[in-house]
Structure 1
Amino acid sequence: MKNYSWFIFSVFVLGSGVLFAQPDSLYFQKKKNETIQLGWRTKKEIGLTLNQVSFTNWNAGGANSISGIVTGKAEAKYKQEKWYWNSNFNVRYGLNKQEELNIRKTEDVIEVVSNIGLEKDPKSNWFYSSKFSFNTQFANGYVYPDRDVEISKFLAPGYVFFGVGMEYGRFIERMSFYVSPFTLKTTIVLDDDLANKGSFGVDPAIYDLEGNLLRDGKKVRQELGILLTNQYEQEIFENIKITSLLELYTDYINSFGNIDLEWEINLDMKVNKFVKATLGSHLRYDDDIKVEVETNEITNEENVIVGPKLQWKQILGVGVVVDLDKIMKSNSSS
């Protein structure tokens, strides 16, 4: 991605600069007179999205299937006159069952994000800021239909980011631009087999010519680099909200200029207080994740490891979302 990563980086920086250079833009016209709520604000949600397809004597053919995704989300936000502290905890797990095939995983996320900021100047939109994030998964990952070899597990990988920098945005929870010239990225691979293979960028095991293990693979890889993020959340129409989170990271020492990309954008459409439809897209590029090409049955060539590839996940679903805070408040008031 090195050939075009700088193009993405340039568009990101220039686009953000144009936005920030226009304080009277539509966004700020709508928000500049809004008061900021001080103190704690919390939010807890659980949700279930189901999709089912069934065929009976259907002449066009098709495969019966059922799938579901369970989601959980918790937010805690604290604001004083000069300080803010925002934290998010997200979990998602999804399964799919299609006719005679075994159950397959479709979604698997454990994510914690927390950032704290100090106001630099009451007349400025810039904050001194520090950000922490952690993410991993619940269950083993496979390249289906092969279930014999795991390609990922719980804490294999696990990613930890911690950095300090500056954040732009009077309304941090809705729109912000964060830049950290000193961000430590830690990649954790606690599984012995995956660590010995050198998965997710850790140093692989060393063997002698006879295949005897001389040194185990490293289970931790650390990088120091620059992190840029852009977060945006806005209700574009009544009961239709768009959220976008873009992250760009490059390591100073090992591969400066090879930019890791995470861009998640979701369109949430609220039908009523319980039913919600979601359309989402998640782009990912990690220079440390190599793609394995399977054996060609015709030429009988062995598996080969090729370079990193752009990853893309799309989500479309309708489900039930329950706001636990509102239920607790209604019960206490009654």
Structure 2
Amino acid sequence: MIRTIKIVFFLLFVSAVNAQVRDSVQVEIVIDTTVISQSIDSIIMVPEEHPENDRQPGSLRADSIQKPRMIYIERALLDSLLRPYYNIEIDSTKKRIYGRDILITPKYRMVIDEKSSDTSYIPLPKKIEYFSKIKTYGIDTLGFSNAIELIKIKRIKKAKKPVWWDHKNSIGFDLNEVAFVNWNSGGQNSVSGLFKVQFARIYEKLYTLWSSEISARYGLNNQQNTGLIKTDDEIRLTSTFGYRKDTLSNWYFSAQVNFRTQFTDGYKNPDDEEAISKFFAPAYFHLGIGSQFNLKEERFSVYISPLTLKSTYVFDESLSNEGAFGVEPGENARHELGILIRTKWEKEIFPNVAMVNDLDLYSDYINEFGNIDIDWVLSFQFKINKVFQASFRSHMIYDNDIKIKETNEEGEVEILGARVQLKQQLGIGIIYNF
């Protein structure tokens, strides 16, 4: 009898333990069973097969754990791991073959700091709805006495007309000064100024190129003992018209006009009374036809005219009677027919340093063919800012018709041969482009 009672109590004890362990294994948590098995006092055997019809969505099942077959777990240890972070609710009314349904909801939400990448946990809100419904109000539609009509506007796209003209205008003034006060090495005070203007108009359209430029320069120098003298005097006008057969060619059939003279009288020495040059004495006029090679991107052009008329005018009686500038004594003009080659190249050789190279070569067919008249202007512009700039200009002229005059020891005037004329100028001043 006593033996039978012990067997009944043992079966009841095993049944109770079995139910308790089944409740605990319904959570999908990976646990090292070798560690937990050291403190267990319950054992459960998980079957190999499970009926598919016993599965219900939303419930954690013991059939999700199949390996190892033998699982040792303690319900108190499982609760201690989960309850600080989860709400665990057991529905004891729904009994299943392998345990009861367990509802697990998290208590905290993990937050990652963007700067430090550290993690922290904050409690989740208990309420889901935080916005209460409010009443909505409406108004009646508004009516208009006059109907609104939709007017269609036809958009016309108008392209801007291309600009065929290019305008270049500049006015500048250079100033140089030398002053001495008790200077041991000696010297004379002087101040000089140079006024210069330049206007250019360029018309370029498909096959046609028309370039016109007028420039003027006038400079004075005032020294302490010698007084006021002229340092620069020039008026220059150039106009070139060209026509090409297609838009791909850089060669133009061209005609060119060039004119050059001066403003006021020029003297060899400040104390001289007789002028060696005057307005329209001389004046040079070139008219020719030929071909021009133009590279717009490189700002380089070459004009070659095998037929160029060169006219030298001396509209002053005294200079005309002397036969100055190659005219016959008493005549006012001299005409020549020859070949003219003119090149112009503008280039920025360094940042804010520009170079302009303008070279004219002319030779007469009739009178001493092979003697080349040279007119070469090489200038550099050093830009300081939008207003101020420094400039260096070198002008070389060789004309076989211009003879040099010198007075000998006996006071007689001797006419020598042609020589190279050279003038250099260096200054700093202001420039205004518009």
**So what's the TM-score if we normalise by structure 1?**
0.79
Q: 1:280 aligns with which of 381, 384, 393?
A: 393
1:69 is matched with 194
Structure-1 separation of matches of 2:219 and 2:180: 23
Residues 162-173 of structure 1 mapped to structure 2, 5 A cutoff: 162-171=287-296
Identity %: 44
1:169 partner SS: strand
Structure-2 separation of matches of 1:62 and 1:188: 41
1:143 is matched with 268
1:183 is matched with 308
1:228 is matched with 341
1:31 is matched with none
Amino acid at match of 2:171: I
Preserved CA contact (<8 Å) 1:38 1:80: no
2:295 partner SS: coil
Instruction: Name the larger-Rg structure.
Output: 2
Preserved CA contact (<8 Å) 2:194 2:217: yes
What RMSD in Å do the two structures reach over aligned CA positions? 1.4
1:260 is matched with 373
Q: 1:157 aligns with which of 259, 265, 282?
A: 282
Structure-2 separation of matches of 1:123 and 1:73: 31
1:317 is matched with 427
Preserved CA contact (<8 Å) 1:38 1:78: no
Structure-1 separation of matches of 2:408 and 2:265: 22
2:57 is matched with none
Structure-1 separation of matches of 2:377 and 2:407: 29
Amino acid at match of 1:202: V
Residue 44 of structure 1: CA displacement?
Answer: 1.5
Q: 2:172 aligns with which of 47, 67, 70?
A: 47
Moved over 3 A (4+): 120-123
Question: Larger relative contact order (C-alpha < 8 A, sep ≥ 6)?
Answer: 1
Question: Is it true that 1:127 corresponds to 2:237 in the alignment?
Answer: no
Point out the structure with the larger strand share: 1
Residues 176-255 of structure 1 mapped to structure 2, 5 A cutoff: 176-204=301-329, 217-255=330-368
Amino acid at match of 2:203: Y
Amino acid at match of 1:72: V
For structure 1, list consecutive stretches of 5 or more residues without a partner in the other structure.
Answer: 1-36, 205-216, 326-334
Change (3 A) 1:76 1:172: farther
Residue 177 of structure 1: CA displacement?
Answer: 1.2
Preserved CA contact (<8 Å) 2:298 2:347: no
Structure-2 separation of matches of 1:118 and 1:168: 11
Amino acid at match of 1:270: K
Structure-2 separation of matches of 1:288 and 1:167: 27
Structure-1 separation of matches of 2:168 and 2:251: 26
Structure-1 separation of matches of 2:432 and 2:298: 21
Structure-1 separation of matches of 2:408 and 2:432: 46
Amino acid at match of 2:432: V
Amino acid at match of 2:408: T
Residue 172 of structure 1: CA displacement?
Answer: 8.3
Structure-2 separation of matches of 1:302 and 1:286: 24
Structure-1 separation of matches of 2:347 and 2:262: 29
Q: Show CA shifts across 1:286-310 (max 9, x none).
A: 01000001232xxx25110000001
Preserved CA contact (<8 Å) 1:38 1:79: no
Aligned length: 273
Structure-1 separation of matches of 2:310 and 2:298: 24
Structure-2 separation of matches of 1:157 and 1:42: 30
